[in-house]
Amino acid sequence: MIELFHAPNYNFVGKRRWAYVVSGLIMLIGLGSLGLRGLRYDIDFTGGTLVQVRFEQSPTVGAIRAGLSRIQLGESVIQQYGDPREYIIRATLTTDSSEELAKRVTGALGQETSLGKFEIRRVEFVGPQVGRDLQLQAIYAVLFSLAGILIYIAWAFKSVKGGVAAIAAVFHDMIVCLGALSLSGREFSLPVLAALLTIIGYSVNDTIVAYDRLRENRGKFSQKGKSFAEQMNDAVNQTLSRTVLTSLTVFLSTAILLFFGGKTLEDFAFVLFIGVITGTYSTIYIAGSIIVDWTQAAEGRVARRKKAVAKA
């Protein structure tokens, strides 16, 4: 029998101060990048036009730009996309009928003879209203799934603390993912949003497995006389091999998506890839640690009050 861990008994919860420092640093880097470099939003959210072109021979960005200079595009981005013959041309919303832009781009590229033959593979136009709607939808989707999860945990485990700690872990994961997105200069698009929401579900999944174990262990003989921190640590350890194994399989799936899924799925897979790693980490270190510190603080308050009562 292959075993990753044999009856593990690591002191995760005891080392939680270190975890807070590490997480704090990573989140600081992420937030710093988000603040300084910011997130690049896809036209799904900003509105704009995107044209994906495949040329017969690989052209230079300069040649494409020269071709496009015939038409006033305003702010445009020309980007190689996966294959060296494949390019994406993006333009921000202009006032006059933006949806006509694709036609003008095709016309302009056609006139630049040095570019050779090409094929328009994809055209996307997102109007300003739709972009704004999608932004709102994205925010709602994240907030509602967090609320849904919070309510579910509070109900299933009869513990609001547990719910809040799980959400804190999710927040941590989201900041890490968004920070990674910002650092790598990738774009926040609809598929990336889908990936983030999956990470929310997935990260909470791990946390729930640990909570479940904690709940199950309560009242067991082996747990008698143990502090809450020790109980939490036991639960994390007992579910450790499952957490790591599952993460490994999901990690395998997303790694294959990332490296073989093609350009369209790349950003999506990238977020999942980062999210799986941080999701596993945050389950072991963050969710459990927060609930322990919170419980201890609450117990401390109760104890102090009792002392005060006894003195009086």
Site residues, another protein (CB under 8 A): 1-3, 7, 52, 54, 99, 102-103, 119-127, 129-130, 134, 137-138, 140-141, 144-145, 148-149, 152-153, 156, 190-191, 193-194, 197-198, 200-202, 204-205, 208-209, 212-213, 216, 238-239, 241-242, 245-246, 248-250, 252-254, 256-257, 260-262, 264-265, 268-269, 272
**Least Cβ distance, residue 91 to another protein (angstroms):** 14
The nearer residue to another protein, 29 or 120, going by C-beta atoms, is 120
CA dist 61 and 74 (Å) reads 17
Shorter beta-carbon distance to another protein: residue 108 or 257: 257
User: 92 or 246: whose CB is closer to another protein?
Assistant: 246
Which segments of the chain are extended strands (E)?
Answer: 40-41, 48-55, 76-81, 83-91, 118-126, 187-188
Q: List, in sequence order, every residue forming a beta bridge with 91; answer none if it has no partner.
A: 49, 76
CB of 160 to another protein, least distance (A): 16
Burial of 242 (0-12, 13-18, 19+ CB in 10 A): middle
State residue 189 phi and psi, 5-degree precision: -125, 180
Strand, coil or helix: 232: helix
Pick 3 or 309: Cβ nearer another protein: 3
Q: How far apart are CB 290 and another protein at their closest, in Å?
A: 18
Q: Is 115 exposed, middle or buried (0-12, 13-18, 19+ CB in 10 A)?
A: buried
CB of 248 to another protein, least distance (A): 7
Q: What's the min distance (Å) between Cβ of 181 and another protein? A: 17
* CB-nearer residue toward another protein: 181 or 204: 204
User: Which one, 21 or 252, has the nearer CB to another protein?
Assistant: 252
8 Å CB contact between 87 and 78: yes
Distance of closest approach, residue 4 Cβ to another protein, in angstroms = 9
Structure tokens at 44: 């799904």
Contacts of 100 (CB under 8 A, 6+ apart): none
